[in-house]
Chain A
Amino acid sequence: MKIIIAGCGKIGKTITETLVAEGHDILIIDNDPVVIEEITNICDVMGVCGNCVDSDILEEASVGDADLYIAVSDSDELNMLSCFIAKKMGAEHTIARIRTPEYNDKSLDVMKKSLELSMPINPERLAARELFNLLKFPSAVKIESFSHRNMDMIEVRLKEDSLLDGVKLSEIKHKFKAQVLVCCVQRGDEVFIPYGNFVLRSGDRIGVTASHTELAKFFRGAGIFQRQAKDVMILGGSRISYYLAEMLTNIGSTVKIIDKDEKTCETLSDALPRAIVICGDGVQQELLLEEGLNRIDAFVSLTGLDETNILVSMFAMMNEVPKVIAKINRDELVPMAEKLGVDSIISPKKIVSNVVLSYARALENSKGSNVETLYKLMDDKVEALEFNVKEDSKLTNVCLKDIKLRKNILIIGIIRDRKIITPEGSTEILAGDRVVVITTNKGLDDISDILAR
């Protein structure tokens, strides 16, 4: 597919890297020649230097042939305008980043319709949504949703002296009386797709799928269950904080937001009447303790500085806050933070690039590929793919235990009538099912690719 990306900042760059790896033809438009040179040096893409609302520039990028036009520059207005012009010049689908809260209410629908936007994306809101899910289910380090949120994969880190240490996967059902499936295990820098005889160890990070009741049973049994966070402290008054506080107060949680800037605090307190907004320097330990750091359920660090987020999160963990989440934008800091024990990390740009990637996949799907959607998990080392099973597939009406799969591939879920079936040896796949497969191999195109040859 031919994809044009206008604006190559943090998010633009991440999207570019993901889409290039998928083999698309990518063209970048950016104002800054330095940015263009940098990206064309590291990725196999073409760059055009100029303003993305200039029709001459868009013509040079031959926007008329583009299957997808993604505007992710700094300015919402520029993105909207540029998508509008691109659409008028013949781009098939357009995606614009629109993140100002004021635009993200009813006016968004109007704009979407009149600008013929295929999809507006709001990175901050998506990040807030992910944070919200994590706070609702704090046992998880990360939650990945598949198949229109019908199925979740929960990532958990096994602590020292975890009850799961030394447990064989085939014993879980018997030991914890819960029907769950461990899909992938990250140990050190390696990621495994585990089979029945795989033995878990402390320190592993595991991905688990199951229905919600079974999951709760499993986590209770394994002693890693945590109740929903009711009392949340947020450091930093960014847009993410605003969206997150709004979501949390709507379900009745107590929210405290701390920010240094007086103006920001005033705006926030006007917009969020039910939240407590505190003006002060959140890096001061005194202030955090005064505001009850050791009594809250969860602490979320969302300042603009990755380093601050990591350090303050570590301080919160020292004060035994049950759930600590840090926002880290720079990829290279993530492994370091994980080594320091900051487990729950969100990266808005990764979330956005995943959303864009699924959109591109779905587009391509309509053009012939059979992969419905694709998700990247565990630092992109694992891919989860969703396939639609057709009538003539070799997989239908055979017991799973009789199907020989290729190495490092696992069927982690079958979705039938919007219900998830956790696969067992006796399960059969029927035509019309959606099947979610997890793998460390790259480049699967069709469901028949999962079969051993």
Chain B
Amino acid sequence: MNFKIVSYIVGRIMQLEAVLFMLPLTVSLIYGEKASAISFLLSALIALAIGFFLVHATGKNDKMLFAREGFAIVALAWILMSAVGALPFVFSGQIPSCVDALFETVSGFTTTGASILNNVEALSRGMLFWRSFTHWLGGMGVLVFIMAILPQDSGRAIHIMRAEMAGPVVGKLVPKIKNTAKILYLIYIALTAIEVVFLLFGGMTVYESLVHAFGTAGTGGFGILGDSIGSYSPYLQWVITIFMLIFGVNFNLFYLLLVRQFKAVAKNTEIWVYIGIVVVSSIAITFNIYSMYESISDSVRHAFFQVASVITTTGYSTADFNAWPNFSRSLLVILMFLGGCAGSTAGGIKVSRFIIAIKTFFRDIRQMIHPRSVSGVSLDGRKLDDKTIHGVNSYFALYLILFLCIFLLISLEPFDFETNFTATLACFNNIGPGLGAVGPASSFAAYSAPAKLLLSLAMLLGRLEIFPMILIFTPSFWKKNK
């Protein structure tokens, strides 16, 4: 393990966070919230000091970077970033408990959107802005951002990108990793800006539209009102529905659209399966909840909104789906597992993994019937190599084992089966609200401190797709020469 490069890049992330604290600081100053402004300034200074120490204490001579350093950088950066990001909440006294503040920040960066706040509206504007801004940062990834702005003299940074970006296969859009990172962020920024404009049209204030655009873009789900999006106009709800779905799409496809490679987009299996699932489940839920609402348009809107929110793992809500009939609730739980497309800001297992797993399953069936048949698994007209298929299979296995372990531990809490199960599910898949006592209308506040820490870990595991976090708990991973 090359600790120098790990410490150097993690240090840079800290410095970046210090700079980013200036945004909520400005917001606090605009709204005249002195206490919040001071806590942001204090946190920025601490982040700057840690960053300075990490960057300069070790020197940066050795730039060798392998897959293992990539994993370590990503895991450590995310943990440290969340810890420092929680400081303003504690300093300002708005979330006095350290564990609660950490849970809230991890939930923000991992774009989960699960909250321990029973009364969101009590927080200052600056704090709420920071909370939502963490969604935006965590959505595309902080290290991808660092790669877009830092000069890169080694081609090995791909290891960092692979460890942070979600999906079974992470490739580049253009030959240079720096340009790839830039393009991804430019698309991300552009789409966020477009959403802001649409929200402004619908009558939101600048502050509201920014906060909600951040929440949608990162597929996070922190709102600023107690009933999430419920009290906004139908137009705004539709805008957010559509943008949630857009941010659940693989960003490579937007690039392909930009460079006019429409054929390649049309050939992409994942996007069509994703759209299909959304439409079919929304229609099914519409019929299921038809009797609960006054007009058909209401039920269609609520169905689409909740499906989009859950499949993209955003976690906004316009209706308390906890009160819906059982079929709809079950369908939403299944969608929670599914998640968005690979290479998007969404969490979950990802649609493409399911496609590959199912195709592999059919191949295996075929091979049982014709034991000597030779057949591969192909996606988008391209044969997949065994390593990818193997990776998908082991991801499923690991996912299941971890999920069950966390669920078992969470079951020590005095809540019913449904609550504990969906709490684990909602955190592990970065969704936010679950069912039962953690439904859209309530919060995670009732859980004990150890449970909150465990759920925070689950969120990090889910966002970084398990492996980086698992590896830092493996002793041999840290050995110098092994």
Contact = CB atoms under 8 A, between A and B. Distances in A.
B175 A25 contact: yes
A44 B177 contact: yes
Contact of A44 (B158, B171, B385): B158
B174 A40 contact: no
B176 A43 contact: no
A46 interface: yes
A296 B152 CA distance: 52
Contacts of B376: none
Nearest to B385: A33
B155 A44 contact: yes
Contacts of A45: 155, 175
A42 interface: yes
Interface in A416-445: none
A344 to B, nearest CB: 32
18 contacts: A2-B175, A25-B174, A25-B176, A26-B175, A33-B385, A40-B158, A41-B67, A41-B156, A44-B152, A44-B154, A44-B157, A44-B158, A44-B177, A44-B178, A45-B155, A46-B174, A60-B264, A62-B259
Nearest to A20: B155
A45 B264 CA distance: 21
A27 B178 CA distance: 15
B176 A44 contact: yes
A41 B154 CA distance: 10
Nearest to A4: B175
Interface string A49-64: 0000000000010100
B172 interface: yes
A26 B178 CA distance: 13
Contacts of B152: 44
Interface in B248-295: 259, 264
Q: Which of A2, A20, A41 has most B Cβ within 10 Å? A: A41
Contacts of A40: 158, 172
B159 interface: yes
Interface in B29-49: none
- Most A-side CB within 10 Å, residue of B152, B158, B385: B158
Nearest to A16: B155
Contacts of B178: 44
A27 B175 contact: yes
Interface string A20-51: 10000111000001000000111111100000
A43 B65 CA distance: 11
A27 B179 CA distance: 14
Contacts of B158: 40-41, 44
A313 B374 CA distance: 50
A203 B29 CA distance: 69
Contacts of B172: 40, 46
Interface of A: 2, 20, 25-27, 33, 40-46, 60, 62
Given A26-B175, A41-B156, A46-B175, 5 more contacts: A42-B155, A44-B158, A45-B175, A46-B172, A46-B174
Nearest to B177: A44
A245 to B, nearest CB: 41
Interface in B430-472: none
Interface residues of B, number: 19
A27 B174 CA distance: 8
B257 to A, nearest CB: 15
B174 A43 contact: no
B202 to A, nearest CB: 39
A41 to B, nearest CB: 7
Contacts of B259: 62
A225 B103 CA distance: 78
Contacts of A62: 259
A121 to B, nearest CB: 22
A173 B178 CA distance: 51
Interface in B160-188: 171-172, 174-179
Contacts of A20: 155
B158 to A, nearest CB: 6
Nearest to A65: B259
A293 B227 CA distance: 93
A26 B385 CA distance: 23
Q: Most B CB atoms within 10 A — which of A33, A42, A44, A60? A: A44
B175 A41 contact: no
A33 B179 CA distance: 23
Q: Across the A-B interface, give the 9 residue pairs with the lowest CB-CB distance, nearest first.
A: A44-B155, A25-B175, A43-B155, A46-B175, A46-B172, A26-B175, A33-B385, A45-B175, A44-B177
Contact of A42 (B156, B171, B175): B156
Nearest to B162: A41
A266 to B, nearest CB: 42
B87 to A, nearest CB: 35
Contacts of A42: 155-156
B408 to A, nearest CB: 37
Which of B155, B158, B178 has the most chain A CB atoms inside 10 A of its CB? B155
Interface string B226-266: 00000000000000000000000000000000010000100
Interface string B54-79: 00000000000001000000000000
Nearest to B381: A56
A42 B159 CA distance: 10
Contacts of A25: 174-176, 179
B371 to A, nearest CB: 26
Nearest to A56: B381
Nearest to A23: B176
A60 B172 CA distance: 13
Contacts of A60: 264
Contacts of B156: 41-42
Contacts of A43: 155
Nearest to B259: A62
A353 B38 CA distance: 58
Contacts of A27: 175
A120 to B, nearest CB: 25
A206 to B, nearest CB: 30
A2 B158 CA distance: 19
Nearest to B152: A44
A43 to B, nearest CB: 4
A2 B157 CA distance: 20
Contacts of B155: 20, 42-45
Contacts of B176: 25, 44
A264 B179 CA distance: 50
Contacts of A46: 171-172, 174-175
Contacts of B385: 33
A70 to B, nearest CB: 14
A27 B172 CA distance: 11
A441 to B, nearest CB: 15
Nearest to B263: A59
B463 to A, nearest CB: 24
B265 to A, nearest CB: 13
Contacts of B175: 2, 25-27, 44-46
A100 B259 CA distance: 40
B148 to A, nearest CB: 14
B168 to A, nearest CB: 14
Contacts of A26: 175
Contacts of A33: 385
